Amino acid sequence: MPELDELETRLVGLTETDIQRGLEVFRSKLKAAEASYLNSCVHCGLCADSCHYHRMDSTLENIPAHKLELISSVFKRNFTAMGRIAPGLVGAKPFNREMAKAWVDAVFGRCSLCGRCSVNCTIGIALPRIFRAARAALGTMGLVPTDLQATVDNSLKHGNNMAVTKDDWVETVQWIEEELQTETGDPGAKIPLDKQGAKVLFTVNPREPKFFPLSLLASAKVFWAAREDWTLASDNGWDLTNYGLFNCNDEQAGAITQNLVDAMERLGCQTLVIGECGHGYGAARWEGPEWLRKSYPFEVKSILELMDEYLRAGRIRLDSSKNPIPVTLHDPCNLVRHGGICEAQRRVLRQAVDSFIEMTPNREHNFCCGGGGGQLAMARYKQRRIRSGGMKAKQIRESGAKIVVAPCHNCIDQLMELNKEYKLNVQIKTVAEMVADALVLDA
């Protein structure tokens, strides 16, 4: 595993200055909330089974509190009086090469930042906030796994995380537009590119033009049916993903967010609509303004909210009998628990399909699919990712549904792997795909 060697090499090469810089960055990420979290854990261990890693592999290293303890022990040693006076008593430990290695393993290798432990913690510690501070510190020490960093670098360099060229993107959009015209029977059906003053700027995950063009086609069909005034950007500003959320380098994350802000300004749109992507929504809607340290002069919505609005306003009509196969819904952590969008997708699906079965648990209690937190971009942790996804596989199987709807392309990738690995024999679709299939088109 060359990646392992590379990371190991960087660990071995760490200097005292690197370690001090890491500590400084870690400290700079802490505010009153985090200081409180780091003083709170009582080591009750009740959070253990809230984590899908621990549920599928019950080792000490997978307990959320253990991951937290690795970080709080360093906090205590460096930033508290008791940690300096009696480190052995309160479990305070120095930050050194060994500890940095343990941090990498814990916060990159055993955590998808899903936040399920937060809602289950006896005290109420929002653990991912601490893990994010640790990731940022490791980043400054050059310890972000190379492939995760490469995804961020792609976005910074090419304006999208898969290095899709402008020509390829535009060509794909034009091809999907032709498909849209065929499917709707409307030769005037358009997928507008760079339409000045359009109401909605729609953004997608680069996996859509690359591997899942039908997803983009489905969204376009819904916009067409709703007679939406929308556009895509032909250049920077069409990719909704932001892996800066996962390498936790706020500067890089902010630069990626700026692409969206610039596109909104360039095109004079009113609403930035984020396609079906959990982390993309979290990054653009919640973290983006914090990274940029300014409020947006426009609104940000998920396409799920928009479809919900269309249905409520009667702008689209659905015939659920067109989707007769039982459907269950996966709740992406960044969209639901951390994003606050819990009901819109349910209201939409209930009208789009004949039989909607909730997974158990669901909403803010959902289990991560295992692919979040940048896990899909870190090849070295693939085995753990697939294993931890076993909880999601179990949920899917127990639902008895034959279609899993996942409003997130990252989750879809992971679910497709789980489908194969755990022989689930299900189809995996987006909400827009279900809606597009159920659309009642005017004659």
Partner 1 sequence: MTTLHLGVLLAIAWAVLTMTFLHLKAKSYGIRKLYSKPAGDPAKGVVYAFTLGMAPWAKESVMMNLPSYGAGLAFHAGVLTALGLLPVAAFRLELPSFVLFSVRLFTLAGVVGGFVLLMKRLVNPQLRGLSCPDDFVSNILGSTFALLAFAWTLSPVAEVPWMAEAMLLLIYAPLGKIRHCLFFFTTRYHLGAFFGRRGTFPPGGRFHA
Residue 28 beta carbon to ligand SF4: minimum distance, rounded to whole angstroms:
22
Residues that bind ligand SF4 in the complex, under the rule CB under 6 A = 41-47, 50-51, 53, 64-65, 67-68, 111-117, 121-123, 125, 127-128, 368
List 357's β-bridge partners, or say none: 328
Nearest residue (CB) to partner 1, 120 versus 234? 120
CA angle 227, 350, 330 (to 5 degrees): 100
Nearest residue (CB) to partner 1, 266 versus 365? 365
| Contact predicate 358/329, CB 8 Å | yes
Residue 409 beta carbon to ligand SF4: minimum distance, rounded to whole angstroms:
20
Work out what residue 90 binds among ligand SF4, partner 1, none; the CB cut-off runs from 5 to 8 Å by kind: partner 1
Work out what residue 49 binds among partner 1, ligand SF4, none; the CB cut-off runs from 5 to 8 Å by kind: partner 1
Nearest residue (CB) to partner 1, 288 versus 370? 288
Residue 125 beta carbon to ligand SF4: minimum distance, rounded to whole angstroms:
5
Residue type present at position 105: D
Tokens of 415: 């679910």
Residue 262 beta carbon to partner 1: minimum distance, rounded to whole angstroms:
17
Nearest residue (CB) to ligand SF4, 85 versus 123? 123
Tokens of 92: 């305070």
**H helix or E strand, kind and range, residue 325:** none
Nearest residue (CB) to partner 1, 130 versus 164? 130
Residue type present at position 185: G
Give residue for tokens 């795909």. 433
Taking residue 146's Cβ as centre, other Cβ atoms within 10 Å add up to 18
List 202's β-bridge partners, or say none: 273
Work out what residue 37 binds among partner 1, ligand SF4, none; the CB cut-off runs from 5 to 8 Å by kind: partner 1
Distance CA 83, CA 94 (A): 10
| Contact predicate 145/111, CB 8 Å | no
Residue 293 beta carbon to partner 1: minimum distance, rounded to whole angstroms:
6
Residue 439 beta carbon to partner 1: minimum distance, rounded to whole angstroms:
27
Nearest residue (CB) to partner 1, 53 versus 169? 53
Nearest residue (CB) to ligand SF4, 67 versus 330? 67
Residue 177 beta carbon to partner 1: minimum distance, rounded to whole angstroms:
33
Nearest residue (CB) to ligand SF4, 47 versus 99? 47
**Helices (H) then strands (E): counts for the chain:** 24, 8
Residue 399 beta carbon to ligand SF4: minimum distance, rounded to whole angstroms:
21
| Contact predicate 277/271, CB 8 Å | no
Residue type present at position 187: P
Question: Pairing mode, if any, of strands 299-302 and 271-274?
Answer: parallel
Work out what residue 67 binds among ligand SF4, partner 1, none; the CB cut-off runs from 5 to 8 Å by kind: ligand SF4
Question: Pairing mode, if any, of strands 230-231 and 271-274?
Answer: unpaired
Distance CA 20, CA 45 (A): 31
Work out what residue 142 binds among partner 1, ligand SF4, none; the CB cut-off runs from 5 to 8 Å by kind: none
Residues that bind partner 1 in the complex, under the rule CB under 8 A = 30-37, 39-50, 58, 60, 63, 65-66, 69, 82, 86, 88-91, 118-126, 129, 285-290, 292-296, 299-300, 336-343, 358, 360-365
Query: CB neighbours of 340 closer than 8 A, spacing ≥ 6?
Result: none
Residue 119 beta carbon to partner 1: minimum distance, rounded to whole angstroms:
7
Burial class for 14, CB neighbours closer than 10 Å (0-12, 13-18, 19+): middle
Residue 248 beta carbon to ligand SF4: minimum distance, rounded to whole angstroms:
13
Residue 410 beta carbon to ligand SF4: minimum distance, rounded to whole angstroms:
15
Edge-to-edge order in the sheet of strand 427-429: 356-357, 327-329, 403-405, 427-429
Q: Alpha helices, DSSP H only, in 293-333? A: 303-313
Work out what residue 127 binds among ligand SF4, partner 1, none; the CB cut-off runs from 5 to 8 Å by kind: ligand SF4
Nearest residue (CB) to ligand SF4, 86 versus 119? 119
Give residue for tokens 């942790």. 381
Distance CA 315, CA 226 (A): 5
Please give the torsion angle defined by the CA atoms of residues 403, 405, 409 and 412, in that order, rounded to the nearest 10 degrees.
Answer: -40
Nearest residue (CB) to ligand SF4, 44 versus 156? 44
Work out what residue 362 binds among ligand SF4, partner 1, none; the CB cut-off runs from 5 to 8 Å by kind: partner 1
Work out what residue 293 binds among ligand SF4, partner 1, none; the CB cut-off runs from 5 to 8 Å by kind: partner 1
Work out what residue 111 binds among partner 1, ligand SF4, none; the CB cut-off runs from 5 to 8 Å by kind: ligand SF4
| Contact predicate 105/9, CB 8 Å | no
Nearest residue (CB) to partner 1, 13 versus 91? 91
Q: Which of 369, 351, 362, 359 is nearest to 438 (CA)?
A: 351
Work out what residue 113 binds among partner 1, ligand SF4, none; the CB cut-off runs from 5 to 8 Å by kind: ligand SF4
